[in-house]
């Protein structure tokens, strides 16, 4: 299965999860890790299982781009891109920060003064609504 077909299958599964939730129900991501450094109360919120969205689908050294899933950690992104002589413009100090988390949370790191914020190096992204 090519990377595009794999991605399409993951999105279809996530859409099915979302449509199975009652309309208007609050939800959050169901994941095993967090970089939240304060206690989080458990709740009856709906949960979307996004664990499959961790991975680099494709690296294109000709265009210096990568197709990356939102739950991919910067650690995994760097491991996939370094063999091509590439790496993200801004790498968070916590290696378990996800690409999606840094982009939506407007992550800032010491390299940001030179290379910009993580979201500034994103060319395109899909958002499930």
Q: Is residue 105, in this structure, part of any structural domain at all?
A: yes
pLDDT at 56 over 90: yes
Q: What digits encode the pLDDT tens for the residues 108-125?
A: 666 666 777 778 888 998
- Find all residues with CB under 8 Å of 16, minimum gap 6, and list them: none
Q: Is residue 9, in this structure, part of any structural domain at all?
A: yes
How far apart CA 17 and CA 9 sit, in angstroms, is: 13
Closest CA to 13 of 53, 44, 67: 53
Mean pLDDT, residues 71-80: 93
pLDDT at 116: 77
pLDDT at 80: 96
pLDDT at 129 over 80: no
Strands 65-68 and 56-60, bridge-based pairing = antiparallel
Q: Is residue 126, in this structure, part of any structural domain at all?
A: no
Q: What digits encode the pLDDT tens for the residues 2-30?
A: 888 999 999 999 999 999 988 888 887 77
Q: Is residue 35, in this structure, part of any structural domain at all?
A: no
Q: Is residue 40, in this structure, part of any structural domain at all?
A: no
Mean pLDDT, residues 84-105: 85
Q: Is residue 16, in this structure, part of any structural domain at all?
A: yes
Q: Where are the beta strands (DSSP E) in 31-128?
A: 46-49, 56-60, 65-68
Q: Is residue 37, in this structure, part of any structural domain at all?
A: no
Q: Is residue 17, in this structure, part of any structural domain at all?
A: yes
Mean pLDDT, residues 56-67: 95
pLDDT at 12: 95
Specify the CATH number for the domain of residue 88. Answer: 3.30.465
Structural contact between residues 119 and 98, judged by C-beta atoms closer than 8 angstroms: no
How far apart CA 36 and CA 25 sit, in angstroms, is: 23
Closest CA to 54 of 72, 32, 33, 30: 72
The tally of domains found in the chain comes to 1
- Find all residues with CB under 8 Å of 18, minimum gap 6, and list them: 27, 48, 128
pLDDT at 37: 53
User: Domain containing 94: what range?
Assistant: 3-26+45-121
Strands 56-60 and 46-49, bridge-based pairing = unpaired
pLDDT at 35 over 60: no
């Amino acid at each position: 299965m090519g990377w595009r077909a794999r991605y399409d299958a993951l999105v279809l599964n996530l859409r099915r999860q979302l449509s199975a939730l009652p309309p208007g129900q609050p939800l959050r991501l169901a994941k095993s890790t967090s970089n939240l450094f304060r206690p989080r109360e458990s709740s009856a919120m709906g949960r979307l299982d996004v664990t499959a969205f961790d991975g680099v689908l494709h690296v294109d050294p000709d265009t210096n781009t990568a197709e990356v899933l939102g739950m991919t950690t910067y650690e995994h992104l760097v491991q996939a891109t370094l063999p091509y002589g590439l790496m993200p413009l801004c790498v968070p100090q916590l290696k378990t920060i996800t690409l999606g988390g840094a982009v939506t949370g407007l992550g800032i790191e010491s390299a940001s003064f030179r290379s910009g914020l993580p979201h500034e190096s994103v060319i395109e992204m899909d958002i499930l609504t």
